[in-house]
């Protein structure tokens, strides 16, 4: 009997040991998953950081104090759904005050009808829509604000693809709209042939106006020759592409505005006389009567004339800190350089040509050759930022003054603002002028498209390797195993 009990006791002990190990392993598995679901890290291994949040978004989410809820009206098969869900997951990981609800019109039509009624959304507007809500305030982000689609393959019956993902800029701007108590006001000067935000033509600024509104800025118009002064609620005055000269009374109003801490953006085109050139010289900026040419840009921009500038040479300033490795495009530029004659002001170069560029004084000569003594030698500056020298002005209202002058207004028109990093550079200027330095613009993300190109020989090798070699190896291995078992 004793001989028979020992194996049975051992079997019971082994079984109990195996059960205990299984229980411990299961408990460990559950505990690890529980902790991982609440304490985890996200990594972005893409080359262009497609799934990483910008510093601007991180700053906004870190300062988020009031709860905001986002409602995503979309379906999983939508091509934008995956990117939207991924980026909103990253938003939620950064702030516990943001909650997201995904509403599927097919699975829960009753919920959809309730929300459409609550947010006063008509059925045709539903589409692919994200609504951010905070209390009684709502902000709508449509699919056209989230992605830029490429329809170039439509003729060959190919499905449209995502050209650029703009969701982060749209979502962060929506959150800003809900959280900022005071909405800054931007006034667009009119009456001298300036470009307007209500102009949908190529030379208009309709898209620029939309970009400003997405940054939680209210856009208004003002005619200085009527008002005789800049409105009291003006947080930023913009003079973009004037074609006629400003009167002395208007320039006095501009001077008083800057002296009292105003913020001014001026964009002047070549071959125009705005009457502001002498005025700007008093404020630390010299605007040249020339047109800027850069042979290096002509080499980098195929099929473009030498009058188009491809610029990636920026100065050292808060506006340009995040412009490293990013380029901007300009069509027809005049020189704008900083002056150091006024000790109360600090003028800094924002953007300039390469050393090969120059400022052509003879704007009727199409040969574009540099004439020593006549033309401005490069590198030629065509963007300047000016602010008060705090140590010189002390506590005077002038200390809040800020000014940006560009030698081109085309770079933010309805055509050019979408090129390269023009919009980002412009918004950096606006955010600096309105003293929102932490809200640096967010550029669109371009989806990675990795392609492998194979020649005919490589394709043939892959074909025979997959069709003949791999099956042959499997067959040979099977024969060897069968033979060994048979023996």
In a domain, 20, yes or no: no
* Exposed/middle/buried for residue 30 (C-beta within 10 Å: 0-12, 13-18, 19+): exposed
* pLDDT confidence of residue 45: 60
Q: What does pTM read for this prediction?
A: 0.67
CB–CB of 407/287 below 8 Å? yes
In a domain, 50, yes or no: no
CATH number at residue 120: 3.40.30.10
* Exposed/middle/buried for residue 399 (C-beta within 10 Å: 0-12, 13-18, 19+): middle
Please tell me whether residues 267 and 294 are part of one structural domain. Answer: yes
* pLDDT confidence of residue 290: 93
* pLDDT confidence of residue 152: 63
In a domain, 250, yes or no: yes
Boundaries of domain holding 125? 55-176
In a domain, 271, yes or no: yes
Structure token digits, residue 398: 């002038």
User: Which residues in the chain come in under a pLDDT of 50?
Assistant: 1-4, 124-125
Please tell me whether residues 303 and 403 are part of one structural domain. Answer: yes
Burial letters for 197-213: b for 16+ Cβ neighbours within 10 Å, e otherwise? bebeeeebbbbbbebbb
pLDDT digits (tens, 9 = 90+) for 92-138: 988 999 999 998 888 888 888 888 888 777 654 455 788 898 887 78
In a domain, 454, yes or no: no
pLDDT digits (tens, 9 = 90+) for 288-346: 999 999 888 766 666 566 678 889 999 999 999 878 878 899 988 999 999 988 889 99
Please tell me whether residues 219 and 105 are part of one structural domain. Answer: no
In a domain, 17, yes or no: no
In a domain, 413, yes or no: yes
Please tell me whether residues 229 and 353 are part of one structural domain. Answer: yes
Please tell me whether residues 245 and 144 are part of one structural domain. Answer: no
CATH number at residue 419: 3.40.50.880
* pLDDT confidence of residue 159: 66
* pLDDT confidence of residue 259: 94
Which residues in 166-241 belong to E strands, given as ranges? 185-189, 218-222, 236-240
Residue with the two structure tokens 């208007």:
250
In a domain, 14, yes or no: no
* pLDDT confidence of residue 368: 77
DSSP helix/strand/coil, 149: strand
Please tell me whether residues 189 and 214 are part of one structural domain. Answer: yes
Residue finishing a domain among 176, 208, 238: 176
Please tell me whether residues 285 and 139 are part of one structural domain. Answer: no
Number of domains in the chain: 2
Please tell me whether residues 224 and 250 are part of one structural domain. Answer: yes
Please tell me whether residues 292 and 402 are part of one structural domain. Answer: yes
CA dihedral 203→205→211→216, nearest 10 degrees, is 170
Residue finishing a domain among 408, 433, 458: 433
Residue finishing a domain among 176, 202, 221: 176
Please tell me whether residues 241 and 325 are part of one structural domain. Answer: yes
CA distance 390 to 396: 9
Length of the chain: 487
């Amino acid at each position: 009997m004793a001989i028979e009990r020992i194996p049975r006791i051992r079997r019971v002990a082994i079984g109990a040991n195996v059960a205990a190990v299984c229980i411990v392993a299961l408990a460990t598995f559950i505990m690890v998953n529980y902790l991982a679901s609440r304490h985890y890290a996200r990594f972005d291994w893409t080359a262009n950081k497609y799934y990483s949040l910008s510093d601007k978004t991180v700053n906004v989410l870190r300062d988020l104090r009031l709860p905001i809820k986002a409602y995503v009206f979309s379906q999983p098969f939508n091509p934008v759904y995956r990117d939207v869900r991924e980026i909103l997951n990253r938003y939620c990981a950064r702030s516990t005050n943001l909650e997201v609800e995904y509403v599927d019109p097919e699975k829960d039509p009753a919920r959809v009808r309730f929300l459409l009624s609550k947010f006063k959304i008509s059925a045709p507007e539903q589409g692919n829509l994200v609504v951010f809500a905070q209390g009684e305030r709502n902000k709508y982000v449509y699919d056209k604000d989230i992605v830029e689609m490429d329809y170039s393959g439509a003729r060959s019956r190919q499905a449209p693809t995502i050209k650029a993902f703009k969701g982060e800029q749209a979502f962060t701007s929506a959150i800003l709209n809900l959280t900022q108590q005071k909405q800054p006001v931007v006034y667009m000067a009119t009456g001298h042939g300036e470009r307007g935000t209500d102009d949908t033509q190529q030379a208009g600024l309709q898209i620029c106006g939309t970009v400003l509104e997405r940054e939680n800025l209210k856009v208004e118009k003002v005619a200085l020759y009527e008002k005789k002064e800049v409105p009291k609620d003006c947080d930023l005055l913009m003079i973009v592409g004037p074609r006629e000269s400003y009167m002395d009374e208007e320039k006095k109003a501009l001077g008083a505005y800057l002296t009292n801490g105003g913020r001014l953006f001026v964009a002047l085109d070549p071959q125009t006389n705005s009457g502001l050139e002498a005025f700007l010289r008093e404020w630390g900026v010299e605007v040249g009567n020339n047109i800027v040419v850069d042979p290096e840009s002509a080499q980098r921009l195929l099929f473009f004339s030498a009058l188009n500038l491809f610029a990636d040479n920026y100065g050292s300033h808060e506006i340009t800190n995040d412009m490293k490795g990013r380029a901007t495009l300009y069509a027809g530029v005049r020189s704008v350089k900083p002056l150091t004659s006024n000790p109360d002001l600090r003028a800094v170069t924002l953007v300039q040509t390469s050393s090969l560029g120059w400022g052509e004084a003879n704007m009727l000569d199409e040969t574009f050759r540099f004439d020593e003594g006549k033309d401005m030698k490069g590198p030629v500056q065509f963007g300047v930022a000016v602010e008060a020298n705090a140590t010189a002005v002390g506590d005077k209202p002038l200390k809040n003054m800020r000014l940006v002058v560009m030698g081109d207004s085309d770079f933010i028109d309805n055509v050019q603002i979408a090129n390269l990093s023009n919009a980002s550079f412009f918004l950096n200027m606006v955010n600096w002028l309105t003293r929102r330095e932490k809200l640096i613009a967010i550029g669109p993300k371009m989806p990675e498209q990795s392609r492998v190109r194979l020649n005919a020989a490589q394709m043939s090798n892959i074909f025979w390797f997959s069709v003949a070699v791999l099956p042959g190896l499997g067959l040979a291995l099977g024969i060897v195993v069968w033979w060994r078992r048979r023996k």
